[in-house]
A = this chain, B = another copy of it.
Amino acid sequence: MSVSIKDVAARANVSPATVSRALAGGQVSAALRAKVEEAVKATGYRPNLSARRLRSQESQTIGLIVADISNPFFTAVARAVEDEAYKAGLRVILCNTDENPDKEALYLQLMEEERVTGVIFAPTRATVGKLAKRQFNFPMVLIDRAEPGSGQDAVVLDNAGAAALLVEHLRDRGYRRIEGLFGNASTTGVERRLGYEEAMRRFGLTPSARFIPPSIKAAEEEVAGWFRRGPAPEAVIASNGLLLMGVVRALRAAGKSMPDDLAVAGFDNESWTDLIGPGLTVIEQPVATMGRTAMQLLLERLEEPDAPLRKMVLGGRCLTRGSTTGRERP
């Protein structure tokens, strides 16, 4: 069917071995190399990557497993990972788990069958704890989400620190009753919550946090409830872009405005956050750096499989905007 290395060899009157060497830049006389190249062009030959992988036992492919590529945070991370990967001559298989542990297990198994070179993975809280128990036939770098005992390299945000930055900022602007909304699927929610609670206590304030599913709708309903039943807090911190959008939607639906009815701060500097009303105060995550770093850690791990475990913790930046302008104290 498809033209194989044998066809090229036949056409150039050489052996398949010579064709292989000529194309791979091995030791071949200039004359033969030219003949081979001519034959390749004439036949329209394309190497068969499956055959190459089978023989050479390396897939030159990595897996990227995230919750949902539609989430701008993961989109940005994925884009960075892919750029680095293709630069390194690696292909990327992308998988969306929708925070579903079953899908995570399924895709991890798929990765083993693909004999991938490595995997970059943003696991759910349910899965991250089990990773240490299993042995994979590829190295893995966790991204965005990790736990002390997971036994894998990782790139994460300083979640607690970033949450504390927001609390501190809100307190400085005079807010006291600061509510926290945290995603319940990932370790980031947990860590951000701890950072929030710790900071609140440090300032002598009473923390009040809610764990909810990481979706726009969940946040919207939660905040709508505050306005319906009251009392609403003075300020809210949303632990990711989805929750942040939910908060904004609820405010709009209830005809409330920022920061007067509710001051709003959150995570993820998505492209629209500076365009909404007075602009949203957010933690900017170094998304591209995270993706690039994950890829780097993976490549280095491939070079040195026995190097000590590494966890890269990156700092977030607090971008203050109009949604937390400040409050005249009573």
Which residues on A are within 8 Å of B, measured CB to CB?
Answer: 1-2, 46-51, 53-54, 57, 59, 68-70, 72, 75-76, 78-79, 82-83, 91-94, 96, 109-110, 112-115, 137, 216, 245, 248-249, 252, 270-272, 275-276
Contact = CB atoms under 8 A, between A and B. Distances in A.
Contacts of A53: 50
- Top-5 shortest CB links A-B: A272-B272, A50-B53, A50-B54, A46-B112, A50-B50
A6 B113 CA distance: 16
B94 A82 contact: yes
Contacts of A109: 46
A54 B57 contact: no
Given A78-B69, A91-B93, A276-B275, A51 B54 contact: yes
How many monomers of this protein are in the complex? 2
9 contacts: A2-B137, A48-B115, A50-B115, A69-B69, A83-B96, A91-B93, A93-B93, A249-B275, A272-B272
Nearest to A64: B94
A162 to B, nearest CB: 22
A242 to B, nearest CB: 10
Contacts of A91: 93, 110, 114
A115 B53 CA distance: 13
A44 to B, nearest CB: 8
Contact of A76 (B46, B70, B272, B276): B70
Nearest to A98: B83
Contact of A75 (B47, B69, B93, B252): B69
A113 B249 contact: no
B48 A54 contact: yes
Contacts of A70: 72, 75-76, 79
A167 to B, nearest CB: 25
Nearest to A80: B70
